Amino acid sequence: MEPLPATQTGRPKASEFVFARLRYDSGDWDYNPKVAANVLNSLVEYTTIPVYPEEVVITADSKDLLAFPFLFMTGHKLVRFSREERAQLKLFVEQCGLLFSDDCNHDINGLYAKSFEQEMRTIFPASSTLAKLPNTHPIYRCFFQFPEGPPTTSHELNGWGDDIVHDYLRAVEHRGRIGVLSDARGLYPRLTARENVRYFGRLYGLAGAALEARIDALFATLGMAPLADRRTAGFSQGERMKVAIARALVHDPDTILLDEPTNGLDIMSVRTLRDELRALRTQGKCLLFSSHVMQEVAALCDRIVVLARGRVVAAGTAAELVERAGTDGRGDAFVRLIGSDEGLAA
């Protein structure tokens, strides 16, 4: 692949929206160059979001994709991703990046749209892949809100100059209303802690004073005030964990998935997090988390599922597991259940 042209005059600021165009080996990735200018102009005109004034181009197989929360992809010819491109795009979406694809109405016999959809179903093999988004989805109001309808524009709405407007969007919706914390963390290093959490809050439909109040409350609870306006690049493991936890909780989800949430936290932060999780449980939230710390599991979990070699080997309360294993302590019970013939057969 040829090196990308150096067209930028400076680096984007952490607070700026960056229009990043996806470059892929097949097809015509650089089709319709006017899109970036139209999107950036709309952001300037209808929002207060700071924008980086130039389009950035990044390859689909780049490991730097995660530095760009938003990616734009277009074309009107056949799309065939390489193995490396599929792997990086899958990681990008799993870490909550937004890939926006548009055929710009110049698609020859639907070739771009059909082949793109086939690629998405290869990467994300689920029946819900590219399902229509309902009009109530937060994506329709997280940046723009036009109660009286969209404003008139001085340019054509579509490439052919007609007045056809698509009345729905389709998407690969990942995690939906579930707040997810994975071990990869997936923070954007050029953004501050506050900007990382604010970005995900906006994706879930929060905005304005309500979003800022929610962020402030989470930062106070997790002891994050000193980190709020620092870029996350260079954060310690514990600091990254705190930001990831705040990001997972910002939209007050009903279901919360946590992967070893106390990993890397200091003693006081562990205690604070446990108190917060107990409060969420009291509010009726459903919490599901994985951990190798049996003291933590016993202190927080109503029900425990023990996995070994990809299979469920035991389930029940802490007391039930200890009784089942015939041991005196929880740690010994865990070892017995996963490390002996009796445990694996339980």
Distance set, CA 250 to CA 54, 196, 205 (Å) = 31, 11, 11
Give residue 108's pLDDT: 47
**Global confidence as pTM:** 0.47
Q: Is the pLDDT of residue 5 over 60?
A: no
Sign of CA dihedral 327, 332, 338, 340: negative
Question: Helix, strand, or coil here: 170?
Answer: strand
Closest CA to 244 of 200, 288, 190, 299: 200
Q: What is the pLDDT of residues 182-202, one digit of tens each?
A: 443 567 788 899 998 998 888
Distance CA 76, CA 102 (A): 9
Give residue 164's pLDDT: 33
Angle in degrees, CA 280, 284, 285, rounded to 5: 55
Give residue 296's pLDDT: 79
Question: Helix, strand, or coil here: 24?
Answer: coil
Q: What is the pLDDT of residues 64-116, one digit of tens each?
A: 888 888 888 888 788 899 999 999 998 888 877 788 887 655 554 567 878 88
Task: Give the residue-averaged pLDDT of 142-162.
Answer: 46
Token pair belonging to 71: 């990616």
Give residue 268's pLDDT: 79
Q: Is the pLDDT of residue 168 over 60?
A: no
Q: Which residue has the higher pLDDT, 160 or 286?
A: 286
**57 pairs with which residues across the strands?**
21
Give residue 198's pLDDT: 92
Q: What is the pLDDT of residues 252-272, one digit of tens each?
A: 888 888 877 777 677 877 887
Q: Is the pLDDT of residue 143 over 50?
A: yes
CB 308 within 8 A of CB 345: no
CB 232 within 8 A of CB 241: no
Helix (H) or strand (E) holding 23: strand 20-23
What average pLDDT is seen over the chain? 76
Q: Token pair 């100059």 is at which residue?
A: 161
Token pair belonging to 191: 């953004």
Token pair belonging to 162: 């007609």
| Domains annotated on the chain, with CATH | 20-171 (3.40.50.12140), 175-290 (3.40.50.300), 298-346 (no CATH)
